[in-house]
Amino acid sequence: MKTIKGPAIFLAQFMGDEPFHTMESACRWMADAGYKGVQVPSDNPVCMDLKLAAESKDYCDTFKGQCKEWGVEITELSTHIQGQLVAVHPAYDVAFDAFAPEELHGKPQARQEWAVQQVMYAAKASQNLGLGRSVSFPGALVWPFMYPWPQRPAGLVEEGFEELARRWRPILDYYDECGVDVCYEIHPGEDLHDGVTFERFLALVDDHPRCNILYDPSHFVLQQLDYLDFIDHYKDRIRMFHVKDAEFLPNGKSGIYGGYQGWVDRPGRFRSLGDGQIDFGAIFSKMAANDFDGWAVVEWECALKHPQDGAREGAQFVSDHIIRVTDKAFDDFAGGDVSTETNRKMLGLD
């Protein structure tokens, strides 16, 4: 068994105002809060220059050294934003233009090509940084038809997933060349939003060894999916872990779909660690038993608590849940010397 690394934290939700206005300031703050690692949003130029990281090993060595000096190490790179743009249904073109450079707005084909290149840069940058895993969103072509009326025409879902696989297959192959896993965050709004949809995609990319999962139980609580059973099904593909809490409190007016309400009023909402319903003791136990050797990365997305309070509490929460695995059985003291002769005698074979 292996001991999970951590605590670490995803910086995407924090970068902006002081003290998270520079990478140095953000890393030092997180280190002071108790974090050992940071997951870096590669789309944010305040955090890193992704293209330069893909082109320059020297830049990556300097970047790693700076982070270490600031008290943390880089756990993984995120391409959530760029990966989302690999596959965008036209219904979302206007909204998702905001994720791309201004000169690409209104140009979905050029935007998609830019996104693919960005995700490719992250593969090489991860390799240059000595990282073996990266997280991304897969994007969505079929999501608008998730709960359709009128009914979907025959073959629509199949064609959408085949196209999604066609777009990602060369990206996965390049990640394989770089020795890096693509860990898709299984997430509502993405075509890969549960186990069934992940399996459909995995089959279409021929069980690609680099096609893996970032496990975040909060997204399963909001779908009312068994987040513990999910681990048992996909333990061999779970290569990354977001530690994020959630709760689901249905009422007589609203349920899973949320009624178009803001996050505070939805029955299903994300919470700071320890404030929700997720059984993290059971999750960390399963991860330890399954030899998960990655990082426990806090992702903070609570609609109620201040982010700095959530971050400080999250570091301690994860530290308290990481299981330092044992290297011996608890009943070893009661054992004896191994002997074929003794074993045969105990079995009545002599």
Q: What is the reported pLDDT for 334?
A: 62
For residue 350, the model assigns a pLDDT of: 72
**Tokens, residue 336:** 């004896």
Q: Would you state the pLDDT for residue 330? A: 62
**Class of the 5-346 domain?**
alpha beta
Beta carbons within 8 Å of 332's beta carbon, 6+ residues apart? none
Angle at 157 between CA 151 and CA 162, to 5 degrees: 165
The structure tokens 């060894």 sit at 209
Task: Quick: pLDDT tens for 178-220.
Answer: 999 999 999 999 999 999 999 999 999 999 999 999 999 999 9
3-class secondary structure per residue, the chain:
CCCCEEEEEECCCCCCCCCCCCHHHHHHHHHHHCCCEEEEECCCCCCCCHHHHHHCHHHHHHHHHHHHHCCCEEEEEEEHHHHHCCCECHHHHHHHHHHCCHHHCCCHHHHHHHHHHHHHHHHHHHHHHCCCEEEECCCECCHHHCCCCCCCCCCHHHHHHHHHHHHHHHHHHHHHHHCCEEEEECCCCCCCCCHHHHHHHHHHCCCCCCEEEEECCHHHHCCCCCHHHHHHHHCCCEEEEEECEEEECCCCCCCCCHHHCCHHHCCEEEECCCCCCCCHHHHHHHHHHCCCCCEEEECCCCCCCCHHHHHHHHHHHHHHHCCCCCCCCCCHHHCCCCCHHHHHHHCCCC
Q: Cα angle at 94 between 92 and 95, to 5 degrees?
A: 65
User: What are the 10-residue block averages of pLDDT along the chain, 350 residues in total?
Assistant: 94 97 98 98 98 98 98 98 98 97 98 98 98 98 94 97 98 98 98 98 98 98 98 98 98 96 97 98 97 97 96 98 83 72 86
Cβ atoms < 10 Å from Cβ of 159 = 12
